Chains A and B, each alone.
Chain A
Amino acid sequence: MRRFKEFIIEKIILLSGFACILFVILIFFFLAKDGLALFKFSSPWNFLFGTLWSPLSEPPQIGILPLFLGSLIVTIGAAVISVPLGMACAIFIAEIAPKWMREILKAGVELLAAIPSIVIGFIGMTMLSPIVKHIFHLPTGLTALTGSIALAFMAIPTMVSIMEDSISSVPRIYKEGSLALGATHWQTIYRVIIPAASSGIVAAIMLGIGRVIGETMAVMMLTGNASVMPHTILAPVRTMTATIAAEMGETVRGSEHYFALFAIGLVLFGITFLINFLADMARHRKNK
């Protein structure tokens, strides 16, 4: 009887494991079914490289290049801000901070991760955007930069906790060996510990970026959502995620516009899949 029970439990766990994969596949097919239907109306080339996003015109103009570049510029901005900050924070927590401070800092970083994105968007809209507007003398504070700063704060917790893990797991003997050879603490950190933890650091950066690309609410509130081809980080941009979120509500089901939004979803799915894949590769390289 006990064996029988164990057998059932085992199978249920197995099933749960497969369920995750099944859901991913189902989501993919669902996206693909409606996303690919777009290409009955428009060619993939026009969709990916068209520079005008104006889905309500007659005929609809469906080119996602401005949206793609919008997502890209916000993401790069966020990465430029969050990678150095996150890395410095992780090194400090793992290597320099005394034990009592380490616990406080770790809890603080985790708390940052728990702030809902809409709250960050709200704070950004009322506090950050007027500051950006005044510093750069812009007509509006709703720019790609504003979005980047807010997103950087959302990426930092992911980055810090994974980086900190990988830095802490560098074998103690590396550090001791380096110090014994007369290297200073700083030399040891950047010549020995960071290279040894590099695969984990790369994975952390990738996962942080994955989080930024998929973020919707905060960018929708902060980037101004003008679907222009971005020339500077100080102008409003429209991201792919914000476009889906903003336009899904009003689109006519089964229209070209509706399928176009699914096709954007498909593009996003592809990008995050690629990033996660790269992060995984980076992480596994370490084990060899």
Chain B
Amino acid sequence: MKKITAISGIVLMVLSPCAGVSYAKESNNLIQIKGSDTIVNLSQAWAEEFMKEHPEASLAVTGGGSGTGIAALINGTTDIANASRPIKKKEIDDAQKAGYYPEEFKVAVDALAVIVNPANPVKELTIDQLSGIFTGKITNWNEVGGNNEKILVLSRERNSGTHMYFLENVVRKGHEKGPEEYAPSVLMMPSSEAIINETSQSTSAIGYDGLGYVTPEVKTIAVAKTKEGPFVQPSKETATNHTYPVWRYLYMYTGFKPQGVTKAFIDFALSEKGQKIVEAMGFVSLPKKE
């Protein structure tokens, strides 16, 4: 008798965390959305609107990073994974091994603004110059037409899809597996707000952030692909017509072809109303299909 009590106690202790996880999969009206911190606020806004229209559905949105979201998709603990970068080959392989076939949806466009302190006289930079600054080849503002001042380089942390995107498309100039890497002296900031905060305080700082996060306390830089120009300021218009070079898609992934509430939610996000929310949250809506 006593042994049974003890054993069942242990079994309960061991099982209870698992029970919480599997619960999410069983109920069809409760869907989990997990992943990129870039999209977490946007997903939350979508979820709130969606639940107003579909009171029977309940959506739980959490952040944690694109990698966390996709790992959760592979483990079967989320229905939708948000990502601010496309899924990697290794992740697709892992998903297939676990019996999932990830489906990709582009849900919004994000432009990354390069920002400096408003007191900094530099107005425009090329991708080459940006790459030089972030890899540590260019260390003084006077090398790119600014004051004689050491550059303080700020980046997002490695857990951020924004970090990866900027690495592949600016630091490595579009060569995904290029040899360039952020210099060790680059400060890794834990959040978008931390970059804005530090840039507004330090005249020698340069950083990057999603367009939606930029405040009047910092100045955006016009960016060009080559030194012939054109140098383009980031904005919703220049990101939509792709004249501004530093933009990317934001993604949602599902484990299978979406059904039921999951499908309804993704359709909602892609609808005209959903894309209005994209604009309201400071991102750029998807180009209208021709």
Partner of B159, one of A126, A236, A248, A255: A248
Q: What 0/1 readout, one digit per residue, does chain B (55-90) give for beta carbons within 8 Å of chain A? A: 000000000111110010010000000000000101
Q: Which residues of B contact A249 (CB under 8 A)?
A: 37, 64-68, 159-160
* Contact yes or no, B202 A226, CB < 8 A: no
A119 at the binding interface (Cβ < 8 Å): no
Main secondary structure on A side of the interface with B: loop
Q: Is A12 an interface residue (CB 8 A)?
A: yes
Cross-interface CB contact of B187 among A130, A224, A255, cutoff 8 Å? A224
Q: Are A255 and B90 in contact (CB under 8 A)?
A: yes
Cα–Cα distance between A238 and B182 once the two chains are bound (Å):
14
Question: B161 at the A/B interface (Cβ < 8 Å)?
Answer: yes
Q: Is A220 an interface residue (CB 8 A)?
A: yes
B88 touches A252 (CB 8 A): yes
A32 to B194, CA, bound (A): 34
* The stretch of A50-58, A104-112, A185-193, A206-214 that contacts the partner chain: A50-58
A7-B2 in contact (CB<8A): yes
Residue B43 interfacial (CB < 8 Å): no
Task: Scan residues 247-273 of chain A and give those whose CB is less than 8 A from a CB of chain B.
Answer: 247-255
The reply to whether A140 and B188 contact each other, CB–CB distance below 8 Å, is no
Q: Does B177 make an interface contact (CB < 8 A)?
A: yes
From A55, A236, A251, contact of B67 by CB (8 A): A251
Which one, B157, B190, B197, B204, contacts A139 given CB within 8 A?
A: B204
Task: Report yes or no: A250 in contact with B161, Cβ–Cβ below 8 A.
Answer: yes
The CA-CA distance from A249 to B190 in the complex, in Å, is 12
Is there contact, CB below 8 Å, between B66 and A250? yes
Q: Which size class do B's interface residues fall under?
A: 35 or more
Neighbour of A56 across the interface among B150, B181, B198, CB < 8 A: B181
Contact assessment for B158 and A250 in the assembled complex, using a CB-CB cutoff below 8 Å: yes
Residue pair B198, A142 in contact (C-beta under 8 Å) = yes
B67 touching A225, Cβ below 8 Å: no
Asked if A130 and B2 sit within 8 Å, CB to CB, the answer is no
- Contact residues in B for A57 (Cβ distance below 8 Å): 179, 181
| CB proximity of A102 to chain B, nearest CB, Å | 40
Interface size class of A (residues with CB under 8 A): 35 or more
Please state if A226 and B185 are interface contacts (CB–CB under 8 Å). Answer: yes
| A4 CB → nearest B CB, Å | 8
CB pair B2–A8 under 8 Å, yes or no, is yes
Q: Check B158–A253 contact: CB distance below 8 A.
A: no
Query: Which residues of B, 157-208, contact A by the 8 Å Cβ criterion?
Result: 157-161, 163-164, 167, 177, 179, 181-182, 184-190, 194, 197-198, 201-202, 204-205
B91 at the A interface (CB under 8 A): yes
In angstroms, Cα B20 to Cα A123, docked, is 35
Q: Is B230 an interface residue (CB 8 A)?
A: no
A221 interfacial by beta-carbon distance below 8 Å: yes
Residues of chain B from 1 to 44 with CB closer than 8 A to chain A in the complex: 2, 5-6, 9-10, 37
Q: A15 near B67 (CB under 8 angstroms)?
A: no
A227 close to B (CB within 8 Å): yes
Binary interface profile of A, 29-59, with partner B (CB < 8 Å = 1, else 0)? 0000000000000000000000011111110
A221, B5: Cα distance in complex, Å: 47
Is residue A228 within 8 Å, beta carbon to beta carbon, of the partner chain?
A: yes
> Cβ of B108 < 8 Å from any Cβ of A?
no
Q: Which A residues touch B94, using CB under 8 A? A: 253-254
Q: Are B164 and A56 neighbours in the complex by a CB distance under 8 Å?
A: yes
Is A66 interfacial (CB-CB < 8 Å)? yes
Pairwise interchain contact A246-B152, C-beta atoms closer than 8 A? no
A interface footprint on B232-248 (CB within 8 Å = 1, 0 otherwise): 00000000000000000
Q: Identify B184's interface contact among A52, A220, A250, CB under 8 A.
A: A52
Q: Which residues of B contact A220 (CB under 8 A)?
A: 190
User: What B residues does A248 contact at CB under 8 A?
Assistant: 65, 68, 159
Q: Are A225 and B152 in contact (CB under 8 A)?
A: no
A246 x B2 contact (CB < 8 A):
no
Check A221 against B194 for contact (C-beta < 8 Å). yes
Alpha-carbon gap, A33 to B236, bound state (A): 48
Closest residue of chain B to A53 (Cβ to Cβ) is B184
Q: Is the CB of B186 within 8 A of A226?
A: yes
Would A140 and B158 be within 8 Å (CB), given that A7-B2, A66-B184 are in contact? Answer: no
- Find chain A residues with CB under 8 A from B163 CB: 250
| Bound-complex Cα distance A221 to B90 (A) | 31
A249 to B160, CA, bound (A): 8
Chain A residue contacts of B37, Cβ below 8 A: 249
Q: In the complex the two chains form, what is the Cα distance from A66 to B194 in whole Å?
A: 23
CB < 8 Å neighbour of B150 from A139, A228, A236: A139
What are 5 sample pairs from A and B whose C-beta atoms fall under 8 A apart?
A54-B184, A139-B150, A140-B152, A246-B157, A247-B158
Question: Can you list the 5 inter-chain pairs with the closest CB atoms, starting with the nearest?
Answer: A249-B65, A249-B159, A225-B188, A250-B67, A250-B159
Binding site for B on A (CB under 8 A): 4, 7-8, 11-12, 15, 52-58, 61, 66, 125-126, 130, 133, 139-142, 220-221, 224-229, 236, 238, 246-255
Q: A54-B184, A57-B181 are in contact. List 5 more A-B contacts (CB 8 A).
A: A8-B5, A225-B157, A228-B185, A248-B68, A253-B91
